[in-house]
Amino acid sequence: MPRRLETDLDALSSPGREPRGSDQPGLPEDRTRPLLELHDVSLTYAVRKGSLRAVDPITLNVHQGEFVCVVGPSGCGKTTLLRLIAGFLAPTTGTVIDSGEPVRGPDARRGMVFQQSHLYPWLTVRGNVEFGPRSRRVPRKERRAIADRYLDLVKLTEFADSRVWELSGGMQQRVALARVLANEPHILLMDEPFGALDALTREHMQDELLAIWRNTRPTIVLVTHSVEEAAYLATRILVCSDRPARIIADLEAPFSRGGPSTNGTAQEPRAVKALPEFVAFREEVLRYIWR
């Protein structure tokens, strides 16, 4: 299985993947340009007793359609890294570049899904999903069509007119996902999105997310403390060190694409997770964390 220790290698070693813009009019966009680039991005928080380094300088490229899972010990700086990418935090050093442009703050094109769904309780399910398009003044008919499309995608059509507090935790998290997707983000950032769900719901949610990724190939960066979840969902796993976070391993993961022994066809999820090669891969990732 191909693997690369320390990240940023493709940025440094493969000229075809160097950031290149489509600055020549009429030429199609260079599809090998990374969607997201981190150049020496670090973050030090100011705290009462001085400063706390959460993220060491990280250089990293993410390409269109990748499903990147970030794993690492609790408190190592994963959420901080995601917030830097989202633009909620400004890096202490370095630059985050999205589609060739430096990130200067939050943007709906970088959609963020949190562990808690943070829905608006005074709105219906559809009202929540329509919220983004409505803020962008998308006409009523059009935004309703957008909302219905994403409610269908997360299988909540029949609950469109329900109040969000009438739904289970898993359903609320699906509304949160639809609400972010309704902004048609070009990158989806997810911070432990299934961390508050029970084990069974969590597995169902993984499959729904994987189905969405397989159908529409969005670019996803998902933080999880579950190595099994990462091994199951990712095309690529980034393993972080203890705080301050560094990327100590950058691993290609085959299972979300169908896996080596599945001939590219989707298999029953528990069967995939029980495959000897899946278990071996999961344990290999775990060894980077448990040292």
Ligand X SMILES: Nc1ncnc2c1ncn2[C@@H]1O[C@H](COP(=O)(O)OP(=O)(O)O)[C@@H](O)[C@H]1O
85 binds ligand X (CB under 6 A): no
Q: Which does 75 bind (CB under 5 to 8 A by kind): ligand X, Mg ion, none?
A: ligand X
For strand 219-223 and strand 236-240, is the pairing parallel, antiparallel, or unpaired? unpaired
Pick from 3, 14, 29, 75: which binds ligand X (CB under 6 A)? Answer: 75
CB of 5 to ligand X, least distance (A): 20
| Interacting residue with ligand X among 41, 54, 146, 237 (CB under 6 A) | 54
User: Between 91 and 110, how does the x/- string for binding to Mg ion read (CB under 5 A)?
Assistant: --------------------
- Asked if residue 33 lies in contact with residue 19, where contact means CB atoms within 8 angstroms, the answer is yes
Gap between the Cα atoms of 229 and 225, Å rounded: 8
CB of 192 to ligand X, least distance (A): 8
Q: Does 77 bind ligand X (CB under 6 A)?
A: yes
Query: For residue 134, what are its two tokens?
Result: 């409505």
Q: How far is the CB of 192 from Mg ion (least distance, A)?
A: 6
The residue with its CB nearest to Mg ion is 79
Q: Is 52 in the site for ligand X (CB under 6 A)?
A: yes
Identity of the residue, 79 or 128, whose beta carbon is nearer to ligand X in the bound complex: 79
Q: By rule CB under 5 A, what count of residues binds Mg ion?
A: 1
Task: List the end-to-end C-alpha distance of the chain, in Å, as a whole number.
Answer: 22
Residues 179-238 that bind ligand X (CB under 6 A): none
Interatomic CA distance for residues 195 and 223, integer angstroms: 10
Which one of 45-53, 125-133, 146-154, 255-263 is the stretch in contact with ligand X (CB under 6 A)? 45-53
Q: By CB under 5 A, name the one of 7, 42, 79, 128 that touches Mg ion.
A: 79
Q: Is 170 in the site for ligand X (CB under 6 A)?
A: no
7 contacts ligand X (rule: CB under 6 A) = no
Residues 224 and 256 sit within 8 Å (Cβ to Cβ): no
Q: Which of residues 239-258 bind Mg ion (CB under 5 A)?
A: none
Strands 187-191 and 110-113: parallel
**Among residues 61 and 79, whose Cβ is nearest to ligand X?**
79
Smallest distance, ligand X to C-beta of residue 238, A: 12
Closest approach of Cβ 14 to Mg ion, in Å? 31
Site residues for ligand X per CB under 6 A: 45, 47, 52, 54, 72, 74-80, 243
Site residues for Mg ion per CB under 5 A: 79
